[in-house]
Amino acid sequence: MSLTIEETKLRNKELIAEVLKAYPEKSAKRRAKHLDVHEEGQSECDVKSNIKSLPGVMTIRGCAYAGSKGVVWGPIKDMIHISHGPVGCGQYSWASRRNYYIGTTGIDSFGTMQFTSDFQEKDIVFGGDKKLEKIMDEIQVLFPLNKGITVQSECPIGLIGDDIEAVSKKKSKEYGGKTIVPVRCEGFRGVSQSLGHHIANDAIRDWVFEKTDADKNKFEATPYDVAIIGDYNIGGDAWSSRILLEEMGLRVIAQWSGDGTIAELENTPKAKLNVLHCYRSMNYISRYMEEKYGIPWVEYNFFGPSKIEASLREIASHFDDKIKEGAERVIAKYKALTDAVIAKYQPRLKDKTVMLFVGGLRPRHVIGAYEDLGMKVVGTGYEFGHNDDYQRTTHYVKDGTLIYDDVTGFEFEKFVEKIQPDLVGSGIKEKYVFQKMGVPFRQMHSWDYSGPYHGYDGFAIFARDMDMAINSPVWALTKAPWKK
């Protein structure tokens, strides 16, 4: 009963009209701008994005703090990131993003720990700067191998007028020039995580690059030095990416920021090329390094063999023949693996439909991986995308795809109920809603505690996981036989 493209478009348009009916008039008008059916040939998906969520609609979005502490800074493993403010923000984001790292936690690495100033009423009334100073002193005593400190501001900081910049400068001087980074990522800033990424990027620019002693942490540069930008090493993603870059002859001098260190951040300006995976969260610093240090950057996509292959060649095109040959060698080396993965899983997944709603790069980046397995993405949207994300999305989506920006709980449920995809890929808040409805689901933020999904090694895991979600016997049993 598959619909023609025209029928699909009509169905999707009707569906949009239907969900909008549930809103009060003013809100319906505003939400209408975020929903669209993709028309082939359009240069961008015709939706508004990166604007405020409506109150009360159950947006899936987070906040600037989540974008800075949770995404950009949190994974830098040898620094201590203070969740500055009340206890909750740090507690809920404690070790929940699965940014894998190697290190001795609590001694020389701190990624899966929760450092908080645990604000009390008196800190709100009298300000928290004195407490912050004391906290930094205590960190220096109890965690002497920390390589730096960041202050991740929670909502109250910006509201009570604390001067975390002054505290950071003072303490940095006191500790002999230690890297201490104040980050103004209060949760009320901006409309989503996205501004938090930007603020965190700017903090690296202002408090790391601007203050780094070029003679520190020296190494011999090579013509093949690159930095991985925008890979948070969720379930080991950056590792299964790095290995490919190294196998083709490049030398990865830094990982931003999964399994990353402050030394790697500081040394990144020595790279010959920045390779950027999550454009949304780290395009800012890539552009800055291009302007300031003349380092070109290139976006790549390591989901699924088609995109990996194209990306390896694209990256190689910035280097000499040695690297170009290296790329071909890597592609050839993994051919047997990807052929075997596709041969095994495509027959089980062919023509299955997927609806996505994720953040960062994934609403478009994973489409190719699904297509490598013969699957079709019929709906997608960004939690916190901007216009440039939707422009990039047109290269990925098919005619008639339903596009939903900052989807609300209500809309997403209705869309899935009507479209009945074979798989939904979204987050933990959405997972159980759809599983209750009998729809197979994979978390596409945390890889549902699996991964890596990047690179060739990751693609095998991705394919296996999608198969086990869709073809699990449980979905045939959700309806009692006497009710069928």
Report the residue from 18, 40, 188, 347 that binds other proteins according to the rule CB under 8 A: 188
CB of 353 to other proteins, least distance (A): 18
What letter represents residue 172's amino acid? S
45 is catalytic: no
Binders of other proteins in range 291-320 (CB under 8 A)? none
Q: Of the candidates 16, 37, 64, 423, which one interacts with other proteins according to CB under 8 A? A: 64
Q: How many CA atoms lie within 13 A of 7 on its CB side?
A: 5
| 86 binds other proteins, rule: CB under 8 A | yes
Nearer to other proteins, 219 or 293 (CB): 219
Task: Give me the helix-helix angle, 25-32 and 5-21, nearest 10°.
Answer: 150
Q: Which is nearer to other proteins, 396 or 447 (CB)?
A: 447
Q: How many CA atoms lie less than 13 Å away from 469 in the CB half-sphere?
A: 26
182 lies in the binding site for other proteins (CB under 8 A): no
Q: What SS3 state is found at 246?
A: helix
**358 three-state secondary structure:** strand
d(CA 343, CA 331): 17
Active site residue 469: no
The encoded tokens of residue 28 equal: 């319906």
Tell me which stretch binds other proteins (CB under 8 A): 7-15, 64-72, 349-357, 366-374.
64-72
Which of 197, 198, 362, 445 is catalytic? The answer is 197
Report the C-alpha gap between 341 and 309 in whole angstroms: 15
Q: x/- site string to other proteins, residues 229 to 268, per CB under 8 A?
A: ------xx--xx-xx--x-----xxxx---x-x-xx--x-
Residue 90 to residue 116: CA distance in whole angstroms: 7
Q: Which residue in this structure is represented by tokens 């980074």?
A: 181
Consecutive H or E run containing 281: helix 279-293
**59 in contact with other proteins (CB under 8 A):** yes
Catalytic residue among 45, 64, 66, 369: 66
278 belongs to the catalytic site: no
Does residue 420 belong to the site contacting other proteins (CB under 8 A)? Answer: no
Q: How near is the Cβ of 4 to other proteins at its closest, in Å?
A: 28
- Contacts of other proteins in 95-134 (CB under 8 A): 96, 100, 102-108, 112-121, 123-124, 131-132, 134
Query: What is the closest distance, in whole angstroms, from the C-beta atom of residue 365 to other proteins in the complex?
Result: 20
Contact partners, residue 130, CB within 8 Å, separation at least 6: none
| DSSP code string of 391-429 | HHHTTTPPTT-EEESS-BHHHHHHHHHHH--SEEEE-HH
| Shortest Å, Cβ 459 to other proteins | 9
Give bridge partners of residue 99 from the DSSP assignment.
234
251 assigned to active site: no
Closer residue to other proteins (CB): 310 or 437:
437
Q: Does 32 bind other proteins (CB under 8 A)?
A: no
Q: What beta strand segments (E) does 87-190 contain?
A: 115-116, 149-153, 180-183
- Out of 9, 16, 65, 402, the residue judged to bind other proteins by CB under 8 A: 65
Residues involved in catalysis: 63, 66, 97, 197
